[in-house]
Each structure stands twice: as C-alpha cells, then as structure tokens.
Structure 1
Amino acid sequence: MNSKYHRWHHPYKPAKGFEKKVAYFSMEFGIDQALKIYSGGLGFLAGSHMRSAFELKQNLIGIGMLWKYGYYDQGRNKDQTLRPEFIEKHYSFLEDSGHEVEVNIFGNSAVKVRAMVLKPSVFNTVPMYLLTTDVEGNDDLSRSIMNNLYDSNELTRICQSVVLGIAGAKLVEALGGADIYHLNEGHALPAFFYLQNQGVGREKMVFTTHTPERAGNVERDARALNDSGFFGKKLSHEELMKVTGGSDRLSYTVAALRMAKKTNAVSKLHAKVSREMWEGNTGSKGIFPITNAQNQKFWQDSVLEKARKNNNVTAFQKRKATLKKELFEEVLDQTGKIFDPKVLTIVWARRFAEYKRADMLLRDMERFEKILNDSKHPVQIIWAGKPYPKDEGAISVFNRLVHFTKYRANTAVLIGYEMALSKKLKEGSDVWLNTPRITREASGTSGMTAAMNGSVNLSINDGWIPEFAKDGKNCFILPEADYKSPVEEQDAFDSVNLYECLEQKVLPAYYDSPDKWSQIVFKGMDDVVPAFSSNRMATQYYKELYQ
C-alpha cells in the first residue's frame, strides 16, 4: 500500500487559481502506449488533460478503469484482414492504493472494487486511480465486469458505469472528498445519483458532452438500470418516472444535463449543435464550448518545433525526412512496401466509424487511380485505425481498404493504431486527411497533433477545424456540403471536392511551390499552439467549468 496515495495527495502544492479539488471521471485514458486503457479520441483527450493538469500543478485527480484486456489488440487474419485479439494485460508500475470499496450491482451488495494508483512520477500525470473488480472474493461474473472497454453486452456496460460512477465516487470520499466532480461523457452518470443521495449539491457536479448525434448518446431501459443499482438505491416506480421524465428509458446525457451545475461541449460548433439537439431539456441552453486540445510536450517532435521557431526550412525538411523514414520502416515491416521519403504522404488515421468515411477516396475509382498513378505528382497513402470489434460495417470498410491496397505499391493499411503508431503517423505524414460528414465530429483532435508536427490538415470544415482553419494558408478546407441533404448527396459532393483539392491545390503546392508549402506548414504549427494545446484547455476548465 502506498500511504501517500491513500489520501488526496499531489507531489506539489497546487498553483494559484488551481486549488479547487477536482475529481475527473472518464471511462478511458490515453496516457501512454504501454497503459492500454483507451480506445480512441475520448481517451487521447482525457490523457492529455491529465498530463497538462500535472504540468500546470492543478489540484485534480483522474478516476478511471483498469481493463483486463484493454479495448482489443489489432491483429490480422491470414489474408491480412482484421482480427480482434483479447490479451490479458499486466502493469508492474501500478500500485495498490490501499482503498477497496463495495458496490451493489444487480442485488449483489458486496462487489469489491479495488483502486490501483498511477503515481505522477511514472508518466508525468496527476495522480490517477484505476478501479478493478478483478479482486479475490468476487465471483467470476463480478470479476468479468472489467474484462473489456466498451463491452458489447448491455448489462455488462451498465455494470461498468456503476463501478466507474459509484465506486469512483466512494473512492473520492475515502480520499477526502472533492470540490468538483467532473464527468467526461455520460459513462459515469451513477456518480451524480450517488452524490445526490449523499446530500452533495449540484454546484459540485459538472459534465462534458462529446457526441453530437442522438444515436451516440446512451439510452437504457430504466427498469434495468434500477435493478442494476445504477441510481445508488432502489427507486420506487414513482421516483423512477420522476428521474426519467415519465419515460421507460433514461438518456444519460439528458440526466447529466439536468443534474450538472454546468455543461460544456468540446468545440464552438459542437456547442451550437448540442444546444439545438437537446433543446427543451433542462440545462441545454447553458451548454458552452471548451474546445478539445492535446498535450504539446507529449505529442510534438521537439526538433520540428525548434526548426519552426527558427523559421529554418532546411532543418525542418531534414528532420521530417528522418521521421518519414521511421514511419516507412513500419510500413515496410507490416506490408512489405518501400515508401519514398521524397513523395507526398497522406495519412487517414482515426477510429473507424461509418460517418468518418475512411474510404471516401475510393468513391470514384477511375479518378482515384489517376491520382495514384500520376508520375509528375506522386503520392503515398496510409490508412490506420480501429473499428469497434463488433461493428461489422466499420470492419468491412477496413477490410475493403486492406484488399484495395494489397497489390498497390504506394498505398498501405497499418494495424496497431494506438498511441505509439498515432505519434509516428503524425510525425511522418505530410498531409492529415479528415473526412467526417459535417456536424457529426464533435471536435476531433488528431489533426491538432498532426499540425504540431508539420502535417498539413486536409479536412471537412467540422469540429475544431472552423476555429483553426485559414484555407490555403495553414491547411486545406473542402467546401461545406448541406448537412441536411441526403447522405448519398453529401458523400458525392464531398468526394468530388476532395479529388479537386488534391489535384489542383495540395499536390501542385507540394511539388511546384515548395516555398508556399513550407509557409503553410509553419503557419499550421504557429496557429495550433497554444490555442489547441491542452494547457490552454485545462486552464479554461478551471476558469469556466469549475469556478
């Protein structure tokens, strides 16, 4: 047991303005490649927040989950298509905090939850407490709650929320309590119900909403939630109807909006979309933006940044060529293809979801083949990302790209899209391609860290991009489709504009106007920091959400 971390403790005195004790709850954290408790953007965002909170000496702790198998490991079948693998994880750098609490789940009143601690000295984060039910004395079913991040079984997912929310809140109490309880997305909603039962006022509860479409906001059967222990105590039918507003289902987001003192969205556009989406619900009018950001110290290559500061194009290009070679060693190892550091390299890499349209370039094959075979303006393209392991549609898109790229020497699909590969792709790419359907990307953060490393954003004007973009000066932006038009029309409109932008702007700028290209690269690096660094974001949370 680590006695220091048996109570609320930081290795520093909190800095002025950051004294409030804040407990930050998130289902996933992307802290380091080695700690596989993340799946994608939500985790990367939360991880950067924990690093910046440490750098700024904030009085904040992280409350998360210790997933036995992580999200999943990305393997390949014999034909190179996707094979999800679930491999047990062990971390010698985590220590037992000495805290164990019990929660009531589906009538089992004694499910033990132990808190392991990630000390600040390991990865330069604030103290982080990771919860697990894989504890001696628990039955197999209780232990299995912690197997998989975003388990596909609905009842297991409910149990995971109970553990994160209620066990997490009990842990914070045992550590000495907090001034603010911050839910990063609605997964830990039971914390609010538990705190309310304990007499904690809503002035201590704040909420960040991420998903700008109703389908992505969790709704569950209210009776199943009541039976599970989700509300911290068994509610009568009348009490349950009061909580759900008379519905037989509970929207986590609607409940969190109602219970939180303040709610923020994760970009200016997302705040507008969220206010419209939840109009008529308590708390919806007050949704305000704190735009997502990423940790500069972790994500940015220091040699590239030094070259930018000195406006030294030669030093930048030399370092970029080295980083491209390092990325291309990974391409060669995985695919047997030799990529050329002198050739413009485009990367599409993020979570595989239908609305993100990973295969947009394949929409008009004749036109795309012309781009791929242009000897005057050659191009190399890499795709990477993890589909949800049960999302057959997203997996089929991934596999389609695998088959398309297999025998083309200048295209590749990489597996193992986690923090280390993400970093390599951002450092080694020339262009970062982003193709979501407009208004459906709440923020997106991968383009921020790409820009920090001199990779030029080529993007739909969605999420954080409208706050950053100066088309043709720090990035390339596609014309906006009518987001209310049929999906097929949007996809046709966007793909035509993407081909035109590549043919007429991006490739000619890179090959025919290298000075102009360097200006765009450096301008992107100038504009992304500090506006989209998580030190700005973590400061804004204290000033605007926690105060």
Structure 2
Amino acid sequence: MKTEPLTSAELTDLIHGLNRLARNLWWTWNQEAQEIFQKLSARAWQNLYHNAVAVLHEVSDYELRTRLQDPAFAADVRDVLKRFNAYMEEGDTWAAQNAQKLEGKPVAYFSAEFGLHETLPIAAGGLGILAGDHAKSASDLGLPFVGISLFYRQGYFMQTINEENWQTEYYSRLNPRNLPMEAVLDAKGEQLTCMIQIATSQVKFKVWKVNVGRIPIYLMDTDLPENEEHHRELTLRVYGGDSTTRIMQEMLLGVGGVRLMRALDIQPSVFHMNEGHAAFLTLELMREKMATGHTLEDASKATTKECIFTTHTPVEAGHDRFTSDLVQYAAHKFANNLKISHQEFMDMGRVRKGDESEPFCMTVLALKHSRTANGVSELHGEISRQMWQDLYADKKVEEVPIGHITNGIHVEGWMKGPLRRFFRSRLGEHWDTDLNTHAFWSRMEDPDFVSDEEIWALRSLLRRELIEFSRRRLLLQSQSLKRENFITFDHLLNPDVLTIGFARRFATYKRAPLVFQQFEQIVKLVKDKKHPIQFIFAGKAHPRDDEGKRFIQHIIHLSKHTELHGHLVFIENYDIHVARQMVSGCDIWLNNPRRPLEASGTSGQKTSAHGCLNMSILDGWWREAFDGSNGFAIGPDSQPDSIEEQDRVDSENLYKVLTQEVIPGFYNRDSTGIPRQWIQKIRRSMSTITPEYSTWRMVQDYANKYYLTGE
C-alpha cells in the first residue's frame, strides 16, 4: 500500500531526534538503537568503533533524508526515539520511590576513569568499567547522580604485538566532535572554564559532558592554549607520565571536580571517591569551609560527613603514595589554605603521624576524611580491615570501619544481540522490563520456559560468533590479506570445541600463563580427538609492566611456535568490544588470580547471562557466588602462605578441575547430542549469578547503605 512521503518538517524532527540519541550513551544498551546506526552505514559502524556520532557524520543530510523516506526504516527510527524519550521522561523510577532525599542534591561520583563503550576509550581496566556500569545503573534507577573524571585526549593505549611477540603501545588523538560528548557552556554561550593552582601555576580547564541515559558525566580537560605545555598534557593519557604527572592529575580530579560542581551550581549530598585518586577533593571541601570562618577541626569533621570512599586495592603497592618533596612542590598551596605546616599536611596522608620516612598516601587521606569506607567484596573487606588496622590503633581488626559492597555489572549493557533476541522472542517487545530481577532469571531453570535444546542452540550460536570474530581479528593482526590466508585463518579454532577464555589486564598477580604450567598435559588435551579444548586469550599489560608483557609474549609464543598452534590464540588490542565477544562466546571463563589479590573482579559476572560458566579461584566475587552447582571452583576457600607453593597447588587444582569436572561435563552428551548436566549448570549460573551480581543491585546497596544514611 502506498504511503505518503514524509514532509520536510517530519524529516527534520526525526533527524534532530537521531542526533540527540547519538549523543546519549543510552543507545549502548539498546539493541534496536544500535541497529538503526548500523543500517545507516554498516562499514562505518564496524570500522569506527560502533560510534553513533561518527556514523551520522559519515552520512550526509541529503542521504539521511532520503533513507528516512523508507517507511519501514522511518518506523524503526520512530519506535526507538519513542522508547528513548519514554526512558528519559520516566518519573516512576526506583529512586523516585526510595531515594527522594537525594532530589536536587545528587551523588557526586569521582573516578579517574570511566569505561562506558569502545567509542570513548578513557579507561584502563576494571576500575573504569565498574565506574561506567555504576553510572548506567544509576541512570536506570533514576538516581540523582553526576560523574566527574578527566577527558584524556589520547585515551588509553592501543596495543600491537611486534615481531618479537612483545607488546608495543601507540596512541591516537580523540576528537570530541566525533564522540558522544558535548561542550559545557557558560552563561555567555562559551565553553565553561575553571581554574586550580598546581605547584606555582594557575591551570585552567574546560569541561565536556557525556550523557549516560538520565545522568551526566563531566570530563575536565586542560588542553588550553593559556596553559603551559606540560599542564596542557595533564589530561593527555590515562595514568600517563611519572609521579609528578600523577599527583597533578589527581589534584585536577579532586580539587577541579569540586570547583566544577560549584561552577555548575550543583550541590551534592555526598562525594563518592571511587579509589583514592580523587581524595584531594576532601582538602578543597575543607578549604571552602575554612574560608567561611570554620576552624580546621570543624571543617574536617563537616567534610567527613559529606564523603564516602571505595577502595579497590588489596595490594599495598597499589595505593598511590607521593614523597614529601613532590607534595611540597605540587601541593604546597593546600597547607597554606589549611593554615598548617608542611609536616602537619603530610600527616593527613600518613598512618603514623610524625614519621617523616612515610610518604603521603591518597588512601589514608580518603579514609581519614570519609564517613564510610568499603571494599568491593566480602573477602576484600576483610583484607582491607587487616591492611589498614594500624590507622585505627584502638580497634580490633573486625572493628576497623571498612565494610563491603560486592561489585556487579550493568547486565543489559553487556548482553549480546542474540541473547536479547532470544528473550524478546519469548517475552515480547517489553521483554526487559524486569530484566534485573531474580524472577526474570529464575525462569531459566524452568524447562517449560526454555528447553535444553534451545539453550544449547543459543550457546552454539554465541560460540560460532566468537570463533568467526576471532578469525577476522587474527587475519587483520597478521597483516596478510591474501586469498590463501583467508582459507588458513578460517581453519583456526573449531566452533564445536570446548572454548576457554581468559581476558583481562595482564597484571602479574592474575597469572595468565598458569594453566600452561602443565604444558605437556595441556597439549594432550587440545589434541584429544574425542574431547578437545581450545583457548582464546586477550589483554593488555600496563606500558611500564615488563613482567606483564613477558606473560603476553610467552602466551603468544606458545600460540605460534608450539603444538598449541591452532588451539590457542591471542587477540590484540583488548577493549570493551573484544570483551563483549569473549564473555558471550566462551564456554568457560578462566580466572586464576593469586588469592587474595583479586579485590572483586567483574569479567566473570558478564558471562553468566550468556551461559558461559566460571572456573575460578575462590577469590573476590566468585567466593560469594559459587554454590557448587553454578560453575567450577579451583581449589579450596584458603591459600598457602608461600607464593611458590600457592602457584604450584593452584596449577595442580586447575588441571584437576579441568580434566575431572569441566571436560567430562561438557562432552557428556545424550543420544541426541545434548549435554544435559552441563546445561543444568548453565541454568543455575543464569538464575543465581546474573541478577545478584549486577550494578542494579549494587547501586541500590550503595544508596541504602551509604548515600541515604547521612552522618
């Protein structure tokens, strides 16, 4: 039937809506919205990091108006915009019912990194991914919330592997015009700037805003011509430079962030420090109070009532510490503002007051000036209380005021397209209404809701998509696009084989090569004709972590020059996009940190919704989640005192679980080829893990336990 063409005004309205949508990262967790931009230019979508803004720049206004005259496409656009507008305007949110106290007085969440999407690579690892998921769930819950961070012009590094299998790094400059962000303007319509003092210089910064659903994240940027060159480069790279750069970045984050809140007339009810990087904000809050006549003691007490602190680091060396000379150089203005001596100022960041050999620790500063503090899993809370007991000398370990809230993930943001379509086909258009509830996921244990065959079909599809993604990436990595190489790479990995994934930061305590300590036995397993296995690895080592780089080099060497060739691959340049493919497509998610050094970990939480099972050391979140039926535990709920003994025992236990539980379970098929017992574990994993280890639950915990508790 003929349909009337859209009028110019109707087209303009749809185009305006698409541009507004592209600049709000809500589309990163809405499948239909992503498909709109993909349809506009599939090549641009794939090559430009799935960037909705860049796709719209690729498509001319003339083409866009022409394409929107397709009635079906225009209808799809209207449906997506209708859903987006309904989300943005929804009034009956969880926070509207449960957190009215925060209305007009939002949570100000300070984090040195936010991992939101591969489009905006301004995160180095799990801390940033957690912050991004925290923000997305704050939006879903309707929580009054603002994020504060830095805009790193070169982001985090891009990884390549050289001819010696050694990680090398390169950087590309990010252009705000092509990113889902916008300049924050002042009353005159010019980009807002603020100023802080660093060392002896006045450093100006401009501000960008990233819209994440209903909430904003503000990014500070010192790349201004008025600043000295080394100050312009403060916001060049995530955790870039030396200790001098680091302390200056943290001054900008903490002090600059508070001043930004004042410039925007935002009055937070609570300042949440996600790690110690932002702890200088407490000194700026004290300075403000003293400027109105308060004493330092009163200012300190009042500031403590406003702040909460989350620590993510169970390793002493992981806490930022700065020497007295560096603090004197970069931050002497703090002591002047607080009317105290340099040594008195240093004591604010020391466990032992007056100990001039002790450096200034950002975690100590945060703990001393927060009304509450927490670790990110039950075990991490225990470790943190032990680690910082000396700061609370009058208390027993169990009385140290550091609690815990276990991390989670933004479930919808990590769900792969086939899984979304799987649920939509069963539950209809509004399939995700109660996505974050236990009731939603408990249906996965009901064979009348979904059969074993349907679950196995989904798993086969997701594994196939991962294998084909891996082949494409490996071919590009080889930089050899001859016809015969396409054929060669299409024989790498096998879509029918038990696929084990390991992808994360290549910090040495995560022990990426541990499984290959039993090398001869692993070779036999991958070559087994009836029950073979295969491995997909990915991850980046910090540019200055040569030991982590050696782990990468070792694994790549094994993949190229040993009998594991063809059964073990390493995917370069790990990012959120690679992670999304791997957590959905693998059958087993391997996690073997040196316990208890994994504060929480969240990569394994992303797998459960897709039917990938965890095989992990009982550390971090997995220690709480494992119930004997929803995955696999490597070893007991304890560890030897000796590192060498721990590595030996964990290697043996890993091999034991792999050969005695995992491989037999995966390949134990009935007469129709279905692994019924394996699928029962998948059902339990989906039901018990997905709703519990989500940021939907986590952010509610923060609100109820910390944000809403006042003093």
* TM-score using structure 1 length: 0.94
- How far 1:240 moved relative to its partner? 2.2
Answer whether contact 1:107 1:229 (CA < 8 A) is retained: no
Match of 1:427 in 2: 584
In 1, the alpha carbon distance for the partners of 2:148 and 2:681 equals 40
In 2, the alpha carbon distance for the partners of 1:242 and 1:390 equals 30
Answer whether contact 2:335 2:341 (CA < 8 A) is retained: no
Match of 2:83 in 1: none
State yes or no: 1:295 paired with 2:400: no
State yes or no: 1:396 paired with 2:550: yes
Distance 1:273 1:422, change over 3 A: same
How do 1:405-424 residues align onto structure 2 when only pairs under 5 Å count? 405-407=559-561, 408-424=565-581
In 2, the alpha carbon distance for the partners of 1:484 and 1:218 equals 28
Answer whether contact 1:190 1:230 (CA < 8 A) is retained: no
Match of 1:94 in 2: 181
Match of 2:532 in 1: 378
In 2, the alpha carbon distance for the partners of 1:475 and 1:417 equals 25
Match of 1:260 among 370, 376, 379: 370
| Cα offsets for 1:195-229 (capped at 9, x unmatched) | 12212531111100010111111111133123212
Q: What SS does structure 1 have at the residue aligned with 2:462? A: helix
Distance 1:94 1:175, change over 3 A: same
Match of 1:348 in 2: 502
How do 1:39-50 residues align onto structure 2 when only pairs under 5 Å count? 39-50=124-135
The one-letter amino acid paired with 2:240 is: D
Match of 1:475 in 2: 631
State yes or no: 1:518 paired with 2:675: no
- How far 1:80 moved relative to its partner? 4.8
| Cα offsets for 1:105-144 (capped at 9, x unmatched) | 1110x20111101124xxx362110111012311211111
The one-letter amino acid paired with 2:465 is: E
The one-letter amino acid paired with 1:509 is: G
Match of 2:437 in 1: none
- How far 1:56 moved relative to its partner? 0.5
In 2, the alpha carbon distance for the partners of 1:291 and 1:51 equals 17
Q: Which moved more, 1:26-35 or 1:221-230?
A: 221-230
Match of 1:27 among 101, 109, 112: 112
Answer whether contact 2:591 2:615 (CA < 8 A) is retained: yes
Distance 1:62 1:497, change over 3 A: same
Answer whether contact 1:116 1:129 (CA < 8 A) is retained: yes
Match of 2:328 in 1: 226
- How far 1:338 moved relative to its partner? 2.5
| Cα offsets for 1:380-399 (capped at 9, x unmatched) | 10111111011000001101
Match of 1:127 in 2: 216
Match of 2:607 in 1: 450
The one-letter amino acid paired with 2:306 is: K
Distance 1:537 1:183, change over 3 A: same
The one-letter amino acid paired with 2:420 is: S
Q: Which moved more, 1:492-501 or 1:363-372?
A: 363-372
How do 1:499-538 residues align onto structure 2 when only pairs under 5 Å count? 499-513=655-669, 514-538=675-699
The one-letter amino acid paired with 1:529 is: T
Distance 1:78 1:91, change over 3 A: farther
In 1, the alpha carbon distance for the partners of 2:210 and 2:111 equals 15
Answer whether contact 1:31 1:44 (CA < 8 A) is retained: yes
In 1, the alpha carbon distance for the partners of 2:618 and 2:590 equals 12
State yes or no: 1:111 paired with 2:265: no
Q: What SS does structure 2 have at the residue aligned with 1:413? A: strand
In 2, the alpha carbon distance for the partners of 1:141 and 1:219 equals 21
State yes or no: 1:184 paired with 2:289: no
State yes or no: 1:276 paired with 2:353: no
In 1, the alpha carbon distance for the partners of 2:630 and 2:333 equals 48
Note the residue ranges of structure 2 that are not aligned, 5 or more in a row. 1-19, 25-87, 186-191, 290-301, 427-442, 475-488, 670-674
Q: What SS does structure 2 have at the residue aligned with 1:480? A: coil
In 1, the alpha carbon distance for the partners of 2:599 and 2:332 equals 27
| Cα offsets for 1:333-363 (capped at 9, x unmatched) | 2333522221110001111011100000111
The one-letter amino acid paired with 2:170 is: E
In 1, the alpha carbon distance for the partners of 2:143 and 2:546 equals 42
How do 1:456-495 residues align onto structure 2 when only pairs under 5 Å count? 456-471=613-628, 473-480=629-636, 483-495=639-651
Note the residue ranges of structure 1 that are not aligned, 5 or more in a row. none
Q: What SS does structure 2 have at the residue aligned with 1:380? A: strand
- How far 1:305 moved relative to its partner? 5.4
In 1, the alpha carbon distance for the partners of 2:335 and 2:345 equals 11
Match of 1:313 in 2: 452
Q: Output the aligned Cα RMSD.
A: 2.1
Answer whether contact 1:97 1:116 (CA < 8 A) is retained: yes
Distance 1:11 1:154, change over 3 A: farther
Answer whether contact 1:166 1:194 (CA < 8 A) is retained: yes
Match of 1:201 in 2: 303
In 1, the alpha carbon distance for the partners of 2:216 and 2:250 equals 21
Answer whether contact 1:481 1:493 (CA < 8 A) is retained: no
The one-letter amino acid paired with 1:460 is: I
The one-letter amino acid paired with 1:289 is: H
Higher helix content, 1 or 2: 2
Q: Look at both structures and tell me which one has the larger radius of gyration over its CA atoms.
A: 2
Q: What SS does structure 2 have at the residue aligned with 1:198? A: helix
Match of 2:355 among 247, 253, 258: 247
Match of 2:313 in 1: 211
| Cα offsets for 1:19-39 (capped at 9, x unmatched) | 421100001111111011111
In 2, the alpha carbon distance for the partners of 1:343 and 1:134 equals 50
- How far 1:12 moved relative to its partner? 6.4
- How far 1:239 moved relative to its partner? 2.5
Q: Alignment length, in residue pairs? A: 535
Answer whether contact 2:347 2:360 (CA < 8 A) is retained: no
* TM-score using structure 2 length: 0.72
In 2, the alpha carbon distance for the partners of 1:412 and 1:230 equals 51
User: Which ranges of 4 or more aligned residues in structure 1 deviate by more than 6 Å?
Assistant: none
- How far 1:538 moved relative to its partner? 0.7
Answer whether contact 2:199 2:329 (CA < 8 A) is retained: yes
| Cα offsets for 1:64-112 (capped at 9, x unmatched) | 111111110112223554221111112333111123110111110x201
- How far 1:315 moved relative to its partner? 2.3
Q: What SS does structure 2 have at the residue aligned with 1:293? A: coil
In 2, the alpha carbon distance for the partners of 1:61 and 1:12 equals 18
In 1, the alpha carbon distance for the partners of 2:569 and 2:383 equals 35
- How far 1:238 moved relative to its partner? 4.3
| Cα offsets for 1:504-542 (capped at 9, x unmatched) | 110000001510000001110111132111011111111
| Cα offsets for 1:262-283 (capped at 9, x unmatched) | 0011011111111111113149
